[in-house]
Chain A
Amino acid sequence: MSLSDFHFRLNGDSAITLIFEDKISKSLTKNILILKNTIIHANDLPRLIDIIPAYQSLTLCYAYPIKNVKTIENQISNIIANIVLSDRPSALKKQKVINIPVCYEDTYAPDLKMLASELKMTTNQLIKKHTDGIYLVHMLGFLPGFLYLGGLDESLHYPRKKTPSINLAKGSIGIGGQQTGIYPIESPGGWNIIGRTPLTMFDVDKEKITIAEPLDSIKFYSISSAEFIKFNIQSQN
Protein backbone atom coordinates (compact mmCIF):
# COMPACT_ATOMS: atom_id res chain seq x y z
CA MET A 1 0.00 0.00 0.00
CA SER A 2 1.40 3.37 -0.94
CA LEU A 3 0.39 6.91 -1.79
CA SER A 4 2.75 7.05 -4.73
CA ASP A 5 0.12 7.51 -7.40
CA PHE A 6 -1.18 11.03 -7.00
CA HIS A 7 -1.35 14.41 -8.67
CA PHE A 8 -1.89 18.00 -7.62
CA ARG A 9 -4.78 20.22 -8.64
CA LEU A 10 -5.23 23.88 -7.88
CA ASN A 11 -8.37 24.47 -5.78
CA GLY A 12 -8.65 28.24 -6.16
CA ASP A 13 -5.73 30.62 -5.55
CA SER A 14 -5.24 29.64 -1.89
CA ALA A 15 -5.67 25.86 -1.89
CA ILE A 16 -4.19 22.76 -3.45
CA THR A 17 -5.89 19.37 -3.66
CA LEU A 18 -3.90 16.17 -3.82
CA ILE A 19 -5.80 13.51 -5.72
CA PHE A 20 -4.90 9.86 -5.15
CA GLU A 21 -5.49 7.30 -7.87
CA ASP A 22 -6.17 4.38 -5.52
CA LYS A 23 -9.74 3.12 -5.18
CA ILE A 24 -11.82 4.25 -2.21
CA SER A 25 -10.90 1.96 0.70
CA LYS A 26 -10.24 1.91 4.40
CA SER A 27 -6.49 1.72 3.85
CA LEU A 28 -6.52 4.74 1.51
CA THR A 29 -8.52 6.73 4.07
CA LYS A 30 -6.01 5.68 6.71
CA ASN A 31 -3.02 6.68 4.60
CA ILE A 32 -4.58 10.04 3.79
CA LEU A 33 -5.05 10.67 7.53
CA ILE A 34 -1.44 9.72 8.28
CA LEU A 35 -0.34 12.13 5.56
CA LYS A 36 -2.63 14.81 6.99
CA ASN A 37 -1.07 14.43 10.44
CA THR A 38 2.43 14.47 9.00
CA ILE A 39 1.76 17.67 7.06
CA ILE A 40 0.18 19.35 10.09
CA HIS A 41 3.27 18.57 12.17
CA ALA A 42 5.82 19.59 9.52
CA ASN A 43 7.36 22.82 10.73
CA ASP A 44 8.91 24.06 7.53
CA LEU A 45 5.66 24.46 5.56
CA PRO A 46 3.62 27.66 5.21
CA ARG A 47 0.82 27.81 7.76
CA LEU A 48 -2.33 25.98 6.77
CA ILE A 49 -5.68 27.32 7.89
CA ASP A 50 -7.56 24.14 7.00
CA ILE A 51 -6.79 20.65 5.78
CA ILE A 52 -9.67 18.60 4.42
CA PRO A 53 -9.34 14.85 3.90
CA ALA A 54 -11.82 13.13 1.60
CA TYR A 55 -12.28 9.68 -0.02
CA GLN A 56 -9.40 10.04 -2.49
CA SER A 57 -7.99 13.47 -1.77
CA LEU A 58 -6.46 15.87 0.69
CA THR A 59 -7.09 19.59 0.33
CA LEU A 60 -4.59 22.04 1.80
CA CYS A 61 -5.98 25.53 2.45
CA TYR A 62 -3.67 28.48 2.98
CA ALA A 63 -4.44 31.90 4.43
CA TYR A 64 -3.15 33.69 1.33
CA PRO A 65 -2.95 33.07 -2.41
CA ILE A 66 -0.15 30.70 -3.31
CA LYS A 67 2.80 32.53 -4.85
CA ASN A 68 4.62 29.52 -6.16
CA VAL A 69 2.59 26.39 -6.74
CA LYS A 70 5.67 24.33 -7.70
CA THR A 71 7.37 24.99 -4.34
CA ILE A 72 4.42 23.63 -2.40
CA GLU A 73 4.09 20.66 -4.74
CA ASN A 74 7.75 19.82 -4.19
CA GLN A 75 7.46 20.13 -0.42
CA ILE A 76 4.44 17.83 -0.31
CA SER A 77 5.98 15.34 -2.75
CA ASN A 78 9.03 15.15 -0.49
CA ILE A 79 6.87 14.46 2.53
CA ILE A 80 5.03 11.71 0.68
CA ALA A 81 8.28 10.16 -0.55
CA ASN A 82 9.61 9.97 2.99
CA ILE A 83 6.44 9.02 4.81
CA VAL A 84 6.19 5.64 6.50
CA LEU A 85 2.76 4.26 5.84
CA SER A 86 3.24 0.89 7.45
CA ASP A 87 0.84 0.10 10.27
CA ARG A 88 1.84 2.60 12.87
CA PRO A 89 -0.86 2.56 15.51
CA SER A 90 0.72 5.58 17.17
CA ALA A 91 0.25 7.66 14.03
CA LEU A 92 -3.50 7.60 14.37
CA LYS A 93 -5.89 7.78 17.27
CA LYS A 94 -7.62 4.64 18.43
CA GLN A 95 -10.63 3.92 16.31
CA LYS A 96 -13.99 3.34 17.92
CA VAL A 97 -17.25 1.65 17.06
CA ILE A 98 -20.05 4.10 17.78
CA ASN A 99 -23.52 2.70 18.34
CA ILE A 100 -26.28 4.96 17.15
CA PRO A 101 -29.91 4.40 18.21
CA VAL A 102 -32.43 4.82 15.41
CA CYS A 103 -36.20 4.87 15.59
CA TYR A 104 -37.51 3.34 12.36
CA GLU A 105 -41.19 3.91 13.23
CA ASP A 106 -43.51 5.75 10.83
CA THR A 107 -43.39 9.17 12.53
CA TYR A 108 -39.65 9.35 11.96
CA ALA A 109 -39.41 7.36 8.73
CA PRO A 110 -41.50 9.04 6.02
CA ASP A 111 -39.90 7.10 3.15
CA LEU A 112 -39.33 3.68 4.76
CA LYS A 113 -42.44 1.94 3.35
CA MET A 114 -41.91 3.31 -0.16
CA LEU A 115 -38.25 2.33 -0.12
CA ALA A 116 -38.94 -1.21 1.18
CA SER A 117 -41.52 -1.78 -1.52
CA GLU A 118 -39.21 -0.37 -4.23
CA LEU A 119 -36.38 -2.61 -3.01
CA LYS A 120 -38.80 -5.56 -2.90
CA MET A 121 -38.45 -6.36 0.78
CA THR A 122 -40.46 -5.88 3.95
CA THR A 123 -39.75 -2.91 6.20
CA ASN A 124 -38.41 -5.32 8.83
CA GLN A 125 -36.00 -6.84 6.32
CA LEU A 126 -34.83 -3.37 5.36
CA ILE A 127 -34.31 -2.38 9.00
CA LYS A 128 -32.42 -5.62 9.66
CA LYS A 129 -30.10 -5.06 6.70
CA HIS A 130 -29.52 -1.46 7.75
CA THR A 131 -28.74 -2.37 11.39
CA ASP A 132 -26.59 -5.39 10.36
CA GLY A 133 -24.13 -3.17 8.53
CA ILE A 134 -20.95 -1.73 10.01
CA TYR A 135 -20.22 1.59 8.36
CA LEU A 136 -16.79 3.16 8.08
CA VAL A 137 -16.46 6.92 8.54
CA HIS A 138 -14.33 8.03 5.56
CA MET A 139 -14.57 11.75 6.23
CA LEU A 140 -16.72 14.56 7.60
CA GLY A 141 -18.12 17.43 5.61
CA PHE A 142 -21.04 18.76 3.58
CA LEU A 143 -22.85 19.84 6.78
CA PRO A 144 -21.28 20.36 10.23
CA GLY A 145 -20.80 16.89 11.73
CA PHE A 146 -22.03 15.02 8.65
CA LEU A 147 -20.34 11.61 8.32
CA TYR A 148 -19.53 10.14 4.93
CA LEU A 149 -20.14 6.44 5.56
CA GLY A 150 -18.96 3.51 3.48
CA GLY A 151 -20.35 0.00 3.55
CA LEU A 152 -24.05 0.20 2.67
CA ASP A 153 -25.29 -3.22 1.54
CA GLU A 154 -25.81 -3.25 -2.22
CA SER A 155 -29.41 -4.45 -1.84
CA LEU A 156 -30.16 -1.08 -0.14
CA HIS A 157 -28.75 1.16 -2.86
CA TYR A 158 -31.45 3.47 -4.17
CA PRO A 159 -31.30 6.82 -6.04
CA ARG A 160 -31.82 10.13 -4.32
CA LYS A 161 -35.14 11.90 -4.70
CA LYS A 162 -35.47 14.00 -7.83
CA THR A 163 -36.89 16.88 -5.81
CA PRO A 164 -35.11 17.33 -2.48
CA SER A 165 -37.20 17.77 0.67
CA ILE A 166 -37.11 21.35 1.89
CA ASN A 167 -36.66 20.61 5.54
CA LEU A 168 -35.40 17.38 7.03
CA ALA A 169 -35.36 17.08 10.81
CA LYS A 170 -32.07 16.96 12.69
CA GLY A 171 -31.02 13.33 13.16
CA SER A 172 -32.82 12.04 10.06
CA ILE A 173 -31.26 8.83 8.71
CA GLY A 174 -31.39 8.45 4.97
CA ILE A 175 -30.36 6.38 1.99
CA GLY A 176 -29.18 8.13 -1.17
CA GLY A 177 -27.43 6.32 -3.99
CA GLN A 178 -24.82 4.01 -2.49
CA GLN A 179 -24.68 5.86 0.80
CA THR A 180 -26.46 5.95 4.11
CA GLY A 181 -26.07 8.88 6.45
CA ILE A 182 -27.36 11.05 9.24
CA TYR A 183 -28.44 14.67 8.82
CA PRO A 184 -26.65 16.30 11.78
CA ILE A 185 -28.69 19.50 11.63
CA GLU A 186 -32.01 20.55 10.14
CA SER A 187 -31.38 20.79 6.44
CA PRO A 188 -32.84 20.45 2.96
CA GLY A 189 -31.90 17.10 1.46
CA GLY A 190 -32.57 14.56 -1.27
CA TRP A 191 -32.15 11.30 0.61
CA ASN A 192 -34.92 8.83 1.38
CA ILE A 193 -35.56 9.02 5.11
CA ILE A 194 -35.87 5.67 6.89
CA GLY A 195 -35.51 6.69 10.53
CA ARG A 196 -34.23 9.23 13.00
CA THR A 197 -31.70 9.24 15.81
CA PRO A 198 -32.22 11.21 19.02
CA LEU A 199 -28.44 11.64 19.37
CA THR A 200 -26.82 15.02 18.72
CA MET A 201 -24.19 14.66 16.02
CA PHE A 202 -22.70 18.13 16.31
CA ASP A 203 -22.37 20.09 19.54
CA VAL A 204 -19.91 22.97 19.90
CA ASP A 205 -20.27 22.94 23.68
CA LYS A 206 -18.66 19.51 23.90
CA GLU A 207 -14.92 18.92 23.96
CA LYS A 208 -15.32 16.77 20.85
CA ILE A 209 -17.76 18.67 18.71
CA THR A 210 -18.63 15.74 16.44
CA ILE A 211 -19.76 12.25 17.44
CA ALA A 212 -17.19 10.45 15.28
CA GLU A 213 -13.94 10.92 13.40
CA PRO A 214 -12.65 9.38 10.19
CA LEU A 215 -11.87 5.65 10.57
CA ASP A 216 -14.38 5.22 13.39
CA SER A 217 -17.17 2.76 12.62
CA ILE A 218 -20.88 3.33 12.98
CA LYS A 219 -23.42 0.69 13.93
CA PHE A 220 -27.13 1.47 14.02
CA TYR A 221 -29.57 -0.20 16.41
CA SER A 222 -33.34 0.01 16.43
CA ILE A 223 -35.26 1.74 19.23
CA SER A 224 -38.98 2.36 19.79
CA SER A 225 -40.57 5.79 19.66
CA ALA A 226 -40.99 5.63 23.47
CA GLU A 227 -37.25 5.11 23.81
CA PHE A 228 -36.62 7.89 21.30
CA ILE A 229 -38.59 10.33 23.44
CA LYS A 230 -36.80 9.12 26.57
CA PHE A 231 -33.43 9.77 24.90
CA ASN A 232 -34.50 13.29 24.03
CA ILE A 233 -35.64 14.02 27.58
CA GLN A 234 -32.38 12.64 28.99
CA SER A 235 -30.25 14.74 26.67
CA GLN A 236 -32.14 17.89 27.67
CA ASN A 237 -31.44 17.30 31.36
Chain B
Amino acid sequence: MLFIKSGLQTSIQDFGRTGYMHLGVSHSGAMDKTSLSLANYLVGKPKDSPALEITLIGPTIQFLSSMRIAICGAHFDIYLNNDLIFNNQSVDVVSGDILEFDQLINGARCYLALSCEINLKKQLNSFSTHVTAKIGGYNNRQIKDGDQLSVLSSNTTQSTKNKSLNSSFSQFYSGKYLLRCVESVESNLFSKVQIHQFLSTKYKINQQSNRMGIRLDGNKIQISQNIQITSSGLTLGSIQITPNGLPIISSVDGQTIGGYPRIANIISTDLSILGQLKAHDTVSFELISCNQASILYKQKENWIEAILTN
Protein backbone atom coordinates (compact mmCIF):
# COMPACT_ATOMS: atom_id res chain seq x y z
CA MET B 1 0.00 0.00 0.00
CA LEU B 2 1.22 3.46 -0.93
CA PHE B 3 0.98 6.46 1.39
CA ILE B 4 0.22 9.35 -0.96
CA LYS B 5 -0.02 11.52 2.16
CA SER B 6 1.24 10.21 5.48
CA GLY B 7 -0.88 12.32 7.82
CA LEU B 8 0.41 13.94 11.02
CA GLN B 9 1.68 10.87 12.84
CA THR B 10 0.89 7.52 11.27
CA SER B 11 2.80 4.55 12.63
CA ILE B 12 2.67 0.77 12.92
CA GLN B 13 1.59 -0.30 16.40
CA ASP B 14 0.68 -3.53 18.13
CA PHE B 15 0.42 -4.16 21.89
CA GLY B 16 4.02 -3.03 22.36
CA ARG B 17 7.16 -4.59 23.81
CA THR B 18 7.58 -5.62 27.43
CA GLY B 19 10.67 -6.80 29.25
CA TYR B 20 13.05 -3.99 28.29
CA MET B 21 12.16 -1.26 30.77
CA HIS B 22 15.30 -1.99 32.81
CA LEU B 23 17.27 -0.94 29.70
CA GLY B 24 15.31 2.28 29.30
CA VAL B 25 12.90 1.05 26.64
CA SER B 26 9.25 1.76 27.46
CA HIS B 27 6.48 -0.46 26.11
CA SER B 28 5.50 1.68 23.09
CA GLY B 29 2.51 0.12 21.26
CA ALA B 30 -0.95 1.45 20.48
CA MET B 31 -2.11 4.29 22.73
CA ASP B 32 -5.68 2.98 22.50
CA LYS B 33 -5.41 -0.80 22.67
CA THR B 34 -9.18 -1.22 22.92
CA SER B 35 -9.73 0.30 19.48
CA LEU B 36 -6.78 -1.64 18.05
CA SER B 37 -8.28 -4.90 19.36
CA LEU B 38 -11.70 -4.16 17.84
CA ALA B 39 -10.25 -3.19 14.45
CA ASN B 40 -8.18 -6.37 14.32
CA TYR B 41 -11.24 -8.44 15.24
CA LEU B 42 -13.19 -6.96 12.31
CA VAL B 43 -10.54 -8.11 9.81
CA GLY B 44 -10.29 -11.55 11.42
CA LYS B 45 -6.95 -11.15 13.16
CA PRO B 46 -5.73 -11.66 16.74
CA LYS B 47 -6.38 -8.52 18.78
CA ASP B 48 -2.70 -7.68 19.29
CA SER B 49 -1.78 -7.77 15.59
CA PRO B 50 0.05 -4.73 14.20
CA ALA B 51 -2.08 -2.05 12.52
CA LEU B 52 -1.74 1.61 11.58
CA GLU B 53 -2.21 4.17 14.33
CA ILE B 54 -3.52 7.39 12.79
CA THR B 55 -3.33 10.65 14.75
CA LEU B 56 -5.42 13.86 14.32
CA ILE B 57 -4.65 14.31 10.61
CA GLY B 58 -5.12 11.11 8.66
CA PRO B 59 -3.31 9.78 5.60
CA THR B 60 -4.34 9.21 2.00
CA ILE B 61 -3.58 5.65 0.97
CA GLN B 62 -3.62 3.86 -2.36
CA PHE B 63 -4.02 0.10 -2.10
CA LEU B 64 -1.81 -1.97 -4.39
CA SER B 65 -3.51 -5.27 -3.64
CA SER B 66 -6.86 -6.63 -2.48
CA MET B 67 -7.55 -6.96 1.23
CA ARG B 68 -10.13 -6.36 3.90
CA ILE B 69 -9.75 -3.32 6.16
CA ALA B 70 -11.46 -1.93 9.27
CA ILE B 71 -11.18 1.30 11.22
CA CYS B 72 -11.94 1.74 14.93
CA GLY B 73 -11.32 4.54 17.41
CA ALA B 74 -11.48 8.27 16.57
CA HIS B 75 -14.03 9.25 13.95
CA PHE B 76 -12.89 10.92 10.75
CA ASP B 77 -14.78 11.61 7.54
CA ILE B 78 -13.34 8.69 5.59
CA TYR B 79 -13.69 8.24 1.85
CA LEU B 80 -13.01 5.15 -0.20
CA ASN B 81 -12.85 6.31 -3.84
CA ASN B 82 -14.91 9.36 -2.86
CA ASP B 83 -17.64 7.34 -1.13
CA LEU B 84 -18.02 7.73 2.63
CA ILE B 85 -17.18 4.66 4.68
CA PHE B 86 -17.60 4.23 8.42
CA ASN B 87 -15.81 3.02 11.51
CA ASN B 88 -16.58 -0.31 13.13
CA GLN B 89 -17.23 -2.40 10.03
CA SER B 90 -14.94 -4.25 7.69
CA VAL B 91 -14.69 -3.18 4.05
CA ASP B 92 -13.10 -4.99 1.10
CA VAL B 93 -10.69 -3.00 -1.06
CA VAL B 94 -8.99 -3.85 -4.34
CA SER B 95 -5.80 -2.69 -6.01
CA GLY B 96 -6.07 0.94 -7.08
CA ASP B 97 -8.62 1.94 -4.44
CA ILE B 98 -7.90 5.21 -2.64
CA LEU B 99 -8.67 5.63 1.05
CA GLU B 100 -8.73 9.21 2.26
CA PHE B 101 -9.01 10.42 5.85
CA ASP B 102 -10.61 13.86 5.85
CA GLN B 103 -11.95 15.95 8.75
CA LEU B 104 -11.52 14.61 12.29
CA ILE B 105 -14.92 14.49 14.00
CA ASN B 106 -14.11 13.25 17.51
CA GLY B 107 -11.35 11.48 19.40
CA ALA B 108 -7.68 11.70 18.46
CA ARG B 109 -6.47 8.33 17.18
CA CYS B 110 -7.97 5.63 15.02
CA TYR B 111 -6.61 2.25 14.02
CA LEU B 112 -6.63 0.93 10.47
CA ALA B 113 -6.38 -2.84 10.57
CA LEU B 114 -5.56 -4.94 7.51
CA SER B 115 -6.57 -8.53 6.84
CA CYS B 116 -3.18 -9.23 5.26
CA GLU B 117 0.10 -9.55 7.11
CA ILE B 118 2.36 -6.51 7.07
CA ASN B 119 5.76 -7.51 5.69
CA LEU B 120 7.97 -6.29 8.54
CA LYS B 121 10.24 -7.83 11.14
CA LYS B 122 9.78 -7.52 14.87
CA GLN B 123 12.33 -5.52 16.82
CA LEU B 124 12.70 -6.29 20.51
CA ASN B 125 9.77 -8.63 20.19
CA SER B 126 7.25 -6.17 18.75
CA PHE B 127 6.22 -4.51 15.49
CA SER B 128 5.47 -1.26 17.33
CA THR B 129 7.16 1.96 16.30
CA HIS B 130 8.92 3.44 19.34
CA VAL B 131 9.14 7.04 18.20
CA THR B 132 11.80 8.22 20.69
CA ALA B 133 13.94 5.06 20.60
CA LYS B 134 13.66 4.98 16.80
CA ILE B 135 13.00 1.26 16.66
CA GLY B 136 10.34 -1.00 15.16
CA GLY B 137 7.58 -0.27 12.69
CA TYR B 138 8.37 0.88 9.17
CA ASN B 139 12.14 1.63 8.93
CA ASN B 140 12.24 2.48 12.65
CA ARG B 141 10.05 5.55 12.19
CA GLN B 142 6.58 6.88 11.55
CA ILE B 143 5.23 6.82 7.99
CA LYS B 144 6.30 9.58 5.58
CA ASP B 145 4.72 10.79 2.32
CA GLY B 146 5.47 8.37 -0.51
CA ASP B 147 6.28 5.37 1.72
CA GLN B 148 5.19 2.04 0.36
CA LEU B 149 4.29 -0.58 2.93
CA SER B 150 4.73 -4.09 1.67
CA VAL B 151 2.04 -6.62 2.62
CA LEU B 152 1.70 -10.34 2.07
CA SER B 153 -1.26 -11.30 -0.08
CA SER B 154 -4.47 -12.27 1.67
CA ASN B 155 -7.15 -14.41 0.16
CA THR B 156 -8.67 -16.00 3.22
CA THR B 157 -11.19 -13.34 4.12
CA GLN B 158 -12.78 -12.63 0.77
CA SER B 159 -14.96 -15.71 1.08
CA THR B 160 -16.23 -14.81 4.56
CA LYS B 161 -18.89 -12.23 5.33
CA ASN B 162 -17.91 -8.72 6.35
CA LYS B 163 -18.19 -8.02 10.07
CA SER B 164 -19.48 -5.02 11.93
CA LEU B 165 -19.69 -4.05 15.56
CA ASN B 166 -23.06 -3.80 17.22
CA SER B 167 -23.80 -0.06 17.49
CA SER B 168 -23.91 -0.35 21.28
CA PHE B 169 -20.16 -1.01 21.19
CA SER B 170 -19.49 2.11 19.14
CA GLN B 171 -17.46 4.68 21.06
CA PHE B 172 -18.19 8.36 21.06
CA TYR B 173 -15.43 10.64 22.27
CA SER B 174 -16.93 13.62 24.06
CA GLY B 175 -13.65 15.39 24.81
CA LYS B 176 -14.54 15.35 28.52
CA TYR B 177 -13.25 12.40 30.44
CA LEU B 178 -13.09 11.07 33.95
CA LEU B 179 -9.92 9.07 34.49
CA ARG B 180 -9.90 6.70 37.41
CA CYS B 181 -6.70 6.37 39.41
CA VAL B 182 -5.07 4.43 42.18
CA GLU B 183 -2.26 5.51 44.47
CA SER B 184 1.27 5.79 43.23
CA VAL B 185 4.71 5.69 44.82
CA GLU B 186 4.76 9.24 46.20
CA SER B 187 1.01 9.77 46.78
CA ASN B 188 1.65 9.77 50.54
CA LEU B 189 3.99 12.76 50.21
CA PHE B 190 1.13 15.01 49.11
CA SER B 191 -1.09 16.66 51.68
CA LYS B 192 -4.84 16.05 51.89
CA VAL B 193 -5.37 19.55 50.56
CA GLN B 194 -3.14 18.89 47.56
CA ILE B 195 -4.86 15.59 46.79
CA HIS B 196 -8.24 17.30 47.08
CA GLN B 197 -7.08 20.05 44.76
CA PHE B 198 -5.88 17.45 42.24
CA LEU B 199 -9.16 15.53 42.37
CA SER B 200 -11.37 18.62 42.11
CA THR B 201 -9.59 20.26 39.17
CA LYS B 202 -10.78 20.00 35.57
CA TYR B 203 -7.53 19.91 33.63
CA LYS B 204 -7.12 20.87 29.99
CA ILE B 205 -4.90 18.84 27.67
CA ASN B 206 -1.87 20.88 26.64
CA GLN B 207 -0.85 20.99 23.00
CA GLN B 208 2.63 19.70 23.92
CA SER B 209 1.25 16.19 24.42
CA ASN B 210 2.41 13.17 22.49
CA ARG B 211 3.15 9.47 22.70
CA MET B 212 5.74 10.16 25.42
CA GLY B 213 3.56 12.11 27.77
CA ILE B 214 0.37 14.10 28.15
CA ARG B 215 0.75 17.51 29.72
CA LEU B 216 -2.14 19.08 31.58
CA ASP B 217 -3.01 22.72 32.26
CA GLY B 218 -5.09 23.93 35.19
CA ASN B 219 -4.83 24.62 38.90
CA LYS B 220 -1.22 24.44 39.98
CA ILE B 221 -0.33 22.30 42.97
CA GLN B 222 2.30 24.05 45.04
CA ILE B 223 4.88 21.42 45.89
CA SER B 224 6.94 22.21 48.94
CA GLN B 225 10.69 22.03 48.63
CA ASN B 226 10.56 19.23 51.18
CA ILE B 227 9.34 16.66 48.69
CA GLN B 228 12.69 15.08 47.87
CA ILE B 229 12.47 11.84 46.01
CA THR B 230 14.94 9.44 44.44
CA SER B 231 14.30 8.46 40.82
CA SER B 232 12.55 5.11 40.47
CA GLY B 233 10.71 2.96 37.93
CA LEU B 234 8.04 4.93 36.08
CA THR B 235 5.02 3.01 34.76
CA LEU B 236 2.49 3.77 32.05
CA GLY B 237 -0.22 6.16 33.25
CA SER B 238 1.82 7.66 36.11
CA ILE B 239 0.75 11.20 36.94
CA GLN B 240 3.82 13.19 37.95
CA ILE B 241 3.58 16.69 39.38
CA THR B 242 6.33 18.74 37.73
CA PRO B 243 8.12 21.61 39.53
CA ASN B 244 5.69 24.12 38.00
CA GLY B 245 2.83 22.37 39.81
CA LEU B 246 1.18 20.87 36.74
CA PRO B 247 0.61 17.16 36.08
CA ILE B 248 2.15 15.17 33.26
CA ILE B 249 0.85 11.68 32.45
CA SER B 250 3.48 9.25 31.21
CA SER B 251 2.49 7.45 28.06
CA VAL B 252 3.58 4.55 25.85
CA ASP B 253 6.88 5.96 24.51
CA GLY B 254 7.76 7.70 27.78
CA GLN B 255 10.63 7.47 30.24
CA THR B 256 11.16 4.32 32.30
CA ILE B 257 12.65 6.12 35.31
CA GLY B 258 11.08 9.24 36.74
CA GLY B 259 12.25 11.85 39.18
CA TYR B 260 9.13 13.92 39.86
CA PRO B 261 6.68 12.94 42.60
CA ARG B 262 3.71 10.89 41.42
CA ILE B 263 0.37 11.86 42.88
CA ALA B 264 -1.59 8.96 41.33
CA ASN B 265 -1.60 6.48 38.48
CA ILE B 266 -4.38 5.92 35.93
CA ILE B 267 -5.96 2.46 36.14
CA SER B 268 -5.25 -0.03 33.35
CA THR B 269 -8.90 -0.02 32.26
CA ASP B 270 -8.79 3.71 31.45
CA LEU B 271 -5.38 3.81 29.74
CA SER B 272 -6.95 3.47 26.28
CA ILE B 273 -8.64 6.84 26.78
CA LEU B 274 -5.17 8.44 26.75
CA GLY B 275 -5.04 7.62 23.04
CA GLN B 276 -8.13 9.75 22.39
CA LEU B 277 -7.03 12.91 24.22
CA LYS B 278 -6.28 15.99 22.18
CA ALA B 279 -5.47 19.63 22.92
CA HIS B 280 -8.25 21.43 24.86
CA ASP B 281 -10.08 18.25 25.87
CA THR B 282 -10.72 18.17 29.61
CA VAL B 283 -9.99 15.46 32.14
CA SER B 284 -10.67 15.05 35.82
CA PHE B 285 -9.55 12.33 38.16
CA GLU B 286 -11.17 9.98 40.64
CA LEU B 287 -9.27 7.91 43.18
CA ILE B 288 -10.32 4.28 43.68
CA SER B 289 -8.82 1.24 45.40
CA CYS B 290 -6.56 -1.28 43.70
CA ASN B 291 -9.19 -3.95 44.31
CA GLN B 292 -11.83 -1.88 42.50
CA ALA B 293 -9.36 -1.33 39.67
CA SER B 294 -8.90 -5.07 39.37
CA ILE B 295 -12.69 -5.63 39.19
CA LEU B 296 -13.14 -2.91 36.55
CA TYR B 297 -10.35 -4.49 34.51
CA LYS B 298 -12.02 -7.88 34.60
CA GLN B 299 -15.34 -6.30 33.53
CA LYS B 300 -13.72 -4.59 30.59
CA GLU B 301 -11.89 -7.77 29.56
CA ASN B 302 -15.22 -9.59 29.60
CA TRP B 303 -16.81 -6.81 27.54
CA ILE B 304 -14.10 -7.06 24.89
CA GLU B 305 -14.06 -10.86 24.91
CA ALA B 306 -17.85 -10.87 24.39
CA ILE B 307 -17.34 -8.83 21.23
CA LEU B 308 -14.34 -10.76 19.98
CA THR B 309 -15.91 -14.18 20.40
CA ASN B 310 -19.19 -13.10 18.84
Please list the residues of chain A having a beta carbon within 8 angstroms of any beta carbon in chain B: 9-15, 17, 19, 24, 49-59, 61, 63-69, 139-146, 148, 184-185, 187, 202, 204, 209-210
Contact = CB atoms under 8 A, between A and B. Distances in A.
Interface residues of B, number: 45
B182 A10 contact: yes
Nearest to B262: A11
Contacts of A69: 290
A133 B114 CA distance: 54
A10 B21 contact: no
A179 to B, nearest CB: 10
Contacts of B232: 17, 19, 52, 54-57, 59
B233 A12 contact: no
A64 B235 CA distance: 13
Interface in B100-159: 123-124, 130, 132-135
Contact of A141 (B24, B187, B188, B290): B24
B275 interface: no
A11 B233 CA distance: 9
A61 B21 contact: yes
- In this complex, the member of A9, A11, A51, A202 whose beta carbon has the largest number of chain B beta carbons within 10 angstroms is A11
A10 B22 contact: no
B267 interface: yes
A210 B21 CA distance: 12
A144 B170 CA distance: 37
B233 A65 contact: no
Contacts of A57: 185, 230, 232-233
A187 B23 contact: no
Nearest to A23: B230
A67 B232 CA distance: 23
B223 to A, nearest CB: 17
B22 A50 contact: yes
B256 A12 contact: no
Contacts of B233: 11, 15, 17, 52-54, 57-59, 61, 141
B24 A146 contact: yes
Contacts of A139: 22, 257
A11 B187 CA distance: 10
Contacts of B88: none
A13 B257 contact: no
The 4 closest A-B pairs by CB, nearest first: A59-B233, A141-B257, A52-B233, A12-B265
Contacts of A50: 18-22
Given A11-B235, A65-B293, A141-B233, A185 B132 contact: yes
A83 B185 CA distance: 25
